[in-house]
Amino acid sequence: MDEQKEHKRRVRYKGTHPRKFSEKYKELQPEKYAGEIEHIVSSGKTPAGMHIPIMVDEILEFLQIQPGQTGYDATLGYGGHSRKMLEKLEGSGHLYATDVDPIESAKTRKRLEDAGYGAERITIRNINFARLDEVAPGVKFDFALADLGVSSMQIDNPERGFSFKNDGPLDLRLDPSSGTPASQRLFELSMSELEGMLVENSDEPYANEIARAISRRLRREGEIATTKQLADTVAEALSFLPAAKRKEEVKKACQRTFQALRIDVNSEFEVLTSSSKSCPR
């Protein structure tokens, strides 16, 4: 007789605003809970795990996309811009898109396929846009878009390590399958290199104090493995500030520190330089 599998109940949706990312299954399944998603968006917020594209009308007005054209979206992300560009192509032409994040690319591919945009309308490649010459050799693009930076769904997921809002592994890689996670990168940098990175990548006014605190904690504990540990280290570095202004200054310094480290881990400036050299003149 076959053993019956134990029935596991779905995690309870705790109130209207669950705190944990894993509990927000309504936001994470927008196709199933369209009403709730519409309500969140109409309130001016971005549902967890989603990304609302910016300046869509302005971008479309500038690009002047015509049916039958061939275009390129260098940063596919959640697919918001790509979908609007595909709509402008009106069932003809083709769009090429790239994104270095294999996790979100797979979700976006499925999302666009479900919306009727399959391989005959869009070609998605999981590569960095620095490799522009590999996207579609010999193809001339009529329009192109690169919306730089990270997306909301990457920041929302604590497992990706992009935010200090929730504790998670200090990773910060757009492609978690390659490269060096931020926790290891901190260990590789000297104190002077840390300070230089903070200044160069985020104009951090407390770069020296933060670099010293990070180096001190690494010597003391051997690693800074989580987002909370890094945020706590920044707070420790700024403990000399007056209590009245400390909380806000620590928050801003954490934002700048995570930005600087993300840029370094993903070689974002180098990628931008490389891709600009590949662009047709």
| 225 shares a domain with 125 | no
Whether residue 274 is contained in a domain is answered as no
108: number of CA atoms within 13 Å, CB side?
Answer: 30
Bigger pLDDT: 23 vs 75: 75
Look over the chain and give the mean of its residue pLDDT values, rounded to a whole number.
87
Reported as a single tens digit per residue, the pLDDT across 110-151 is 989 999 999 999 999 998 888 888 888 889 999 999 888 787
13, pLDDT greater than 50: no
| 226 shares a domain with 192 | yes
| 78 shares a domain with 122 | yes
What CATH number did the domain enclosing 82 receive?
3.40.50.150
| 245 shares a domain with 161 | yes
- Do 260 and 186 form a contact (C-beta atoms < 8 A)? no
Whether residue 165 is contained in a domain is answered as yes
What CATH number did the domain enclosing 252 receive?
1.10.150.170
State mean pLDDT over 4-20: 56
The contacts found for 137-140 with CB under 8 angstroms, 24 or more apart, are 139/70, 139/96, 140/70, 140/280
Number of domains in the chain: 2
| 162 shares a domain with 135 | no
pLDDT of 212 reads 98
8, pLDDT greater than 60: no
118: left (phi over 0), alpha (psi -120 to 50) or beta: beta
Choose the final residue of a domain: 122, 152, 182: 152
Choose the final residue of a domain: 128, 152, 176: 152
169: number of CA atoms within 13 Å, CB side?
Answer: 10
Whether residue 275 is contained in a domain is answered as no
| 171 shares a domain with 140 | no
| 174 shares a domain with 253 | yes
How far apart, in whole angstroms, are the C-alpha atoms of residue 121 and residue 273? 29
Reported as a single tens digit per residue, the pLDDT across 205-259 is 999 999 999 999 999 999 999 999 999 999 999 999 999 999 999 999 999 999 9
Among 10-14, 57-61, 264-268, the least confident range = 10-14
| 170 shares a domain with 129 | no
Choose the final residue of a domain: 98, 122, 152: 152
Domain ranges, residue 178: 157-267
Whether residue 218 is contained in a domain is answered as yes
State mean pLDDT over 21-43: 64
